């Protein structure tokens, strides 16, 4: 697959309706999806991601049940988008090729296949399926801080050789400092930049999402993710409206209507926020300790149930090196802490 032709200097991908699902406890309604897609589409956003926070098939006891079936939400998004492509996330082991086919039938144009940063070898069959379905492709190398730049680039090569058109440096924990982010961007651009676009997905746990997005563009990254009102896991994603404003100030063409995105954030998304992502102690600990951002609500729920501090649960998850897909281990950590507390340790 050849990489798509870009209409602008950088392609901002909005993930309010996917990563934001984590912050919404996966309770998006069809009307909220329709209203958000309509506003993003009018503001010129080219790609809008819509699925459960953990991707296709994520609605489950382990990750949290969705309010509305994701195929219904994908179909609603497709109806509202006049120019934008609708993307879905697929995590091998959670979502399947059958789920991808259903998403394509519902109107999805693009799939972003997400693996742990050292496990790209589980993705080729999903990229092959996407090619057969005529979908655009991107690849998420999650928890990118957990492997050196040169090794991350080798994982990107596996994805590109399998048909990925845009491998991503995915800072799932919001842990990458600017120098560390730059090193990874440079490594991926050097490895695959002549064949595929390189992307960046940032979180605000350490407040570097927007700054790292600018660095990303400077070294050749051309896909950058954001979410309105920063709606996403942990402290949230790089805010789409801020990215648009910053790139505009830098005279970098995004094709986005900044006032339109500001209105979308303030008038469409903000009214339905039950929880506005913020850099509080729990979220900062995630970035500091390198913990998967979607662990936040799970840790807070476990903390309330077992009467132990959420930030300590998260810190211990970081010490144990837990990664996406191991949300069930949060309960084990909380029980262990509560037991030691009861024993006076």
Binding residues for Mn(2+): 19, 201, 203
Give the annotated binding-site residues for substrate. Answer: 18-19, 172, 201, 292
In whole angstroms, what is the distance from residue 161 CA to residue 280 CA? 40
Task: Please give, one letter per residue, the 3-state secondary structure of the chain.
Answer: CCCCCCCCCCEEEEEEECCHHHHCCCCCCHHHHHHHHHHHHHCCCCEEEECCCCCCCCCECCCECCCCCHHHHHHHHHHHCCCCEEEEEECECCECHHHHHHHHHHCCCEEEEEEECCCHHHCHHHHHHHHHCCCEEEEEEECHHHCCHHHHHHHHHHHHHCCCCCEEEECCCCCCCHHHHHHHHHHHHHHHCCCCCCEEECECCCCCHHHHHHHHHHCCCCEEEEEHHHCCCCCCECEHHHHHHHHHHCCCCCCCCHHHHHHHHHHHHHHHCCCCCCCCHHHHHHHHHCCCCCHHHHHHHHHHHHCCCHHHHHHHHHHCCCCCCCCCHHHHHHHHHHHHHHCCC
In whole angstroms, what is the distance from residue 283 CA to residue 216 CA? 23
Give the annotated binding-site residues. Answer: 18-19, 172, 201, 203, 292
> Choosing from 8, 22, 67, 298, which is the catalytic residue?
22
Cβ-Cβ contacts under 8 Å for 83 (sequence gap 6 or more): 41, 44, 46
Burial 183-202 (b: 16+ CB within 10 A, else e): bbbbbbbebbbeebbbbbbb
Q: Is 22 a catalytic residue?
A: yes
CA angle 96, 89, 150 (to 5 degrees): 100
Cβ-Cβ contacts under 8 Å for 69 (sequence gap 6 or more): 59
Positions annotated as catalytic residues are 22
């Amino acid at each position: 697959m050849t990489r798509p032709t870009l209409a602008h200097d950088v392609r901002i991908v909005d993930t309010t309706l996917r990563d934001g699902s984590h912050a919404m406890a996966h309770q998006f309604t069809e009307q909220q999806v329709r209203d958000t897609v309509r506003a993003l589409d009018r503001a010129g956003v080219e790609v809008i991601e819509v699925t459960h926070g953990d991707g296709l098939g994520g609605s489950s006891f382990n990750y949290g049940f969705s309010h509305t079936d994701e195929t219904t939400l994908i179909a609603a998004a497709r109806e509202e988008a006049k120019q934008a492509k609708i993307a879905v996330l697929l995590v091998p082991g959670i979502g399947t090729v059958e789920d991808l086919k259903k998403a394509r039938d519902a109107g999805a144009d693009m799939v972003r296949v997400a693996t742990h940063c050292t496990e790209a070898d589980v993705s080729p069959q999903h990229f092959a399926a996407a090619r057969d379905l005529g979908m655009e492709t991107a690849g998420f190398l999650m928890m990118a801080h957990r492997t050196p730049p040169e090794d991350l680039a080798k994982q990107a090569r596996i994805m590109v050789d399998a048909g990925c058109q845009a491998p991503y440096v995915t800072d799932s924990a919001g842990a990458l400092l600017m120098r560390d982010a730059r090193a990874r961007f440079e490594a991926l651009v050097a490895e695959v930049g002549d064949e595929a676009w390189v992307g960046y997905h940032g979180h605000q746990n350490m407040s570097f999402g927007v700054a790292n997005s600018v660095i990303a563009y400077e070294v050749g990254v051309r896909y950058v993710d954001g979410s309105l009102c920063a709606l996403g896991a942990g402290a949230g994603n790089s805010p789409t409206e801020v990215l648009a404003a910053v790139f505009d100030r830098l005279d970098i063409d995004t094709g986005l209507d900044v006032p339109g995105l500001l209105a979308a954030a303030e008038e469409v998304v903000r009214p339905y926020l039950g929880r506005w992502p913020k850099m509080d102690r729990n979220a900062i600990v995630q970035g500091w300790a390198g913990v998967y951002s979607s662990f936040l609500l799970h840790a807070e729920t476990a903390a309330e149930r077992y009467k132990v501090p959420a930030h300590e649960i998260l810190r211990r998850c970081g010490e144990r090196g837990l990664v996406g897909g191991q949300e069930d281990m949060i309960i084990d950590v909380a029980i262990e802490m509560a037991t030691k507390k009861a024993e006076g340790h």
